[in-house]
Chains A and B, each alone.
Chain A
């Protein structure tokens, strides 16, 4: 148990900041990302006994975080649908002026564009564009083939480009 706790604390020290930005890139809001970080590391702690030491902790942790973030987005969309909110209201939510948004107008537009993507495309785009993960890494995290990821990224990229050009 002490070994496990030490390993867990090493994960927190080494990866928590980078993981936060991964989650933030998917969900947009600081408050949501902060809540998710707690959930993710609780899940990681519970899953530690099953973690094989030969697996890459980065990939393992990112997989948990990605699944939690996507699950969060799905629930948010269902709640929005039940309250008759527009789907693009979420785009407003993640990119509206708030204390923790630093970007200029162009960055805000880019975040809005990304927020309109379907969850999986948003995920791939965020990991590729912002985090600059390789397709192989993304494939290990998401369980999707490299080929499918490349297609997904290309489609997402084109959609973002279209959105930005029509919103000018």
Chain B
């Protein structure tokens, strides 16, 4: 450092810092399982979310009156056939 900053450090700080930093390679070389666990957890979450969405979208819901009317019109049923169906049910 060229110009003095108005700061100091604890006694022996830089020796202690060097000792601490030279351990970094040893710490980082241990196998890190975290990324693999994170990947597995993401996959599980995606599976669960997909399953939930699938269940929700295919669940049967009662048709509304409008939907029934539209269905009958689309089916090409005549009024006579419809009355026949309704009264003979």
A binds B: yes
Are B24 and A130 neighbours in the complex by a CB distance under 8 Å?
no
Q: What is the CB-to-nearest-CB distance from B11 to chain A, in angstroms, rounded to a whole number? A: 11
Write out, one digit per residue, whether chain A residues 20-64 have a CB within 8 A of any chain B CB (1) or not (0).
110011000010001001100110011000000000000000000
Interface residues of A in 138-166 (CB under 8 A from B): none
Are A102 and B8 neighbours in the complex by a CB distance under 8 Å?
yes
Q: What is the CB-to-nearest-CB distance from B39 to chain A, in angstroms, rounded to a whole number? A: 19
Are B8 and A5 neighbours in the complex by a CB distance under 8 Å?
no
* Chain A residues bordering chain B, tally (CB within 8 A): 35
Question: Quick one: which of A9, A20, A38, A129 contacts B3, CB cutoff 8 A?
Answer: A129
A69 to B14 CA separation, bound complex (whole angstroms): 19
B20 and chain A: residue at smallest CB distance: A38
Are A16 and B21 neighbours in the complex by a CB distance under 8 Å?
yes
* Cβ of A86 under 8 Å from chain B: no
A5 to B25 CA separation, bound complex (whole angstroms): 6
List of B residues within 8 angstroms of A131 by Cβ: 1-2
Are A130 and B8 neighbours in the complex by a CB distance under 8 Å?
no
Interface residues of B in 1-21 (CB under 8 A from A): 1-3, 5-10, 14, 17-18, 20-21
A81 to B14 CA separation, bound complex (whole angstroms): 34
**Contacting chain B: which of A70-78, A104-112, A115-123?**
A104-112
Residues in B lying within 8 Å of A, measured CB to CB: 1-3, 5-10, 14, 17-18, 20-22, 24-25, 28-29
24 contacts between A and B (CB under 8 A): A1-B29, A4-B25, A9-B25, A12-B21, A13-B18, A16-B14, A17-B17, A20-B9, A20-B17, A25-B5, A30-B9, A37-B21, A38-B24, A41-B21, A42-B28, A45-B25, A45-B28, A100-B8, A102-B7, A102-B8, A104-B6, A111-B5, A130-B5, A132-B2
